[in-house]
Amino acid sequence: MQALERQRGNGRNDYSVRAVWNSILAGIIFGHPSIASLRRELSRNAQLRQICGFGICSGTDAVPDAWVYSRFLRRLEKHSGEMRRIFDTLVERCRRELPDFGRHMGCDGKALSSYARRTGKSEHGDRRGEHDAAWGVHAHHSRGRDGVMLETVKRWFGFKLHLIADTTYELPIAFTVLPANHNEMPVMHRLVEGLAERNEQILHSCEVWSGDRGNDDGKLVRRLWDEYRIKPVIDIRNTWKDPDKTRVVPGQQNVTYNWKGTVRCVCPAMMKEREMAFGGFEKDRQTLKYRCPARHYGYQCKGSDRCPVRSGIRIPLQENRRIFTPVARSSYQWKRLYNKRSALERINSRIDTSFGFERHTIRGLQKMSMMVTISLSLMLAVAVGRTAEKRPELMRSLARTA
């Protein structure tokens, strides 16, 4: 606000900078989809005008014209650095005030559709086209009840939000907005690098990093564990030509694994294949330990006397860094930790519904990035305020009073 006031200098001050800024925040919090809707509410609601800081005695004349908001938003775009520092400061406040904030983190990409034309209606001199957006494609594969693989393809014209968030409190930690055709993995690497520069402490306090198949990348898996000792819990894509194929563990004659990381042993007497029991991760050795299923679950195995793995085996992570991670993919712990990734879906839903990005009138990458920054900063600010009020159960509620 001080930077905007210095920029105004001794110019006209018909509408206070702080009042206009407060009204924009109020429009987001109370779910107004456009400036026109916000202005109608300000004209009707005298109490809201007073809270925002507009003159009480002026009545509806205190409500700024539409062109005032348009000019103000253009000025805000030039101060994206200050607004980004607001976001980073709120992330740091959450880290200090919320127990274990950043301990469990996740990443995801979210489509931000644009409803404008690529170009305006030139025959009428319309310049309101969307020139920064691009077409994005996302394919989702699932297996139907009959066992047949199904493919669902989503196409949209617009932008994409690349987000890193805390999966316990469902709050954002780092993000960027780019045209929809940008590949997700290079962007996620840059986000991790930026987070290490701006807030390295929160990155080193993270223990688990979850992500869907879109974030399945061997470089990211290695980087998280090797550099920051973060356990990656990222779903894996099938890159094997034959999904039913198995590979023999080096040095073991009767132990195999598949692309999902399931380790099985073959009974030397009955030639029956059984899934081995996960015995934990040995950090010093960088190995996953698997136990004989017969000894672990307590049943008889006719080939146990001559089985070379009856006392268990160790599989080093280097065997396949994508498949073998510090949290074994076949373990119950992996499934429990991966379920935390659903927090990203709830954050995306709040961005669409509560913050109005499902149906919006935003055009241009710079303005879209600015509005996302303001919205995510508000998400953090509400959480900080609710924590200060000793009402953490309301930290995800925008308009509900304490």
Dist. CA 346–CA 379, nearest whole Å: 13
Dist. CA 55–CA 16, nearest whole Å: 9
Domain boundaries, given as residue ranges, for the chain:
2-77, 103-236+338-394, 247-328
**pLDDT value for 52:** 94
What is the number of H-type helices and E-type strands within the chain?
A: 13, 13
**pLDDT value for 68:** 93
**pLDDT value for 386:** 92
Strands 287-291 and 247-248: unpaired
Buried/exposed code over 202-230 (b: 16+ C-beta within 10 A; e: otherwise): bbebbebbbbbebbbbeebbbbbbeebeb
57 Cβ contact list (under 8 Å, min separation 6): none
The residue ranges of DSSP E strands in 84-133, in sequence order, are: 104-113
For residue 23, give the H/E element and its range. Answer: helix 17-29
Strands 208-211 and 171-179: unpaired
Helix 365-388 / helix 66-77 crossing angle, nearest 10 deg? 90
Can you tell me whether residue 256 is helix, strand or coil? strand
103-236+338-394 — its CATH code?
A: 3.30.420.10
Nearest to 209 by CA among 166, 273, 238: 166
Farthest-apart Cα atoms in the chain, separation:
93
**pLDDT value for 244:** 81
For residue 248, give the H/E element and its range. Answer: strand 247-248
Residues listed for the chain: 402
- As averages over each run of 10 residues, the pLDDT of the chain (402 residues) reads 86 84 94 92 93 87 92 92 94 94 95 81 63 86 71 87 96 95 92 91 93 92 94 91 86 90 90 90 94 86 85 93 94 94 94 90 92 96 93 84 58
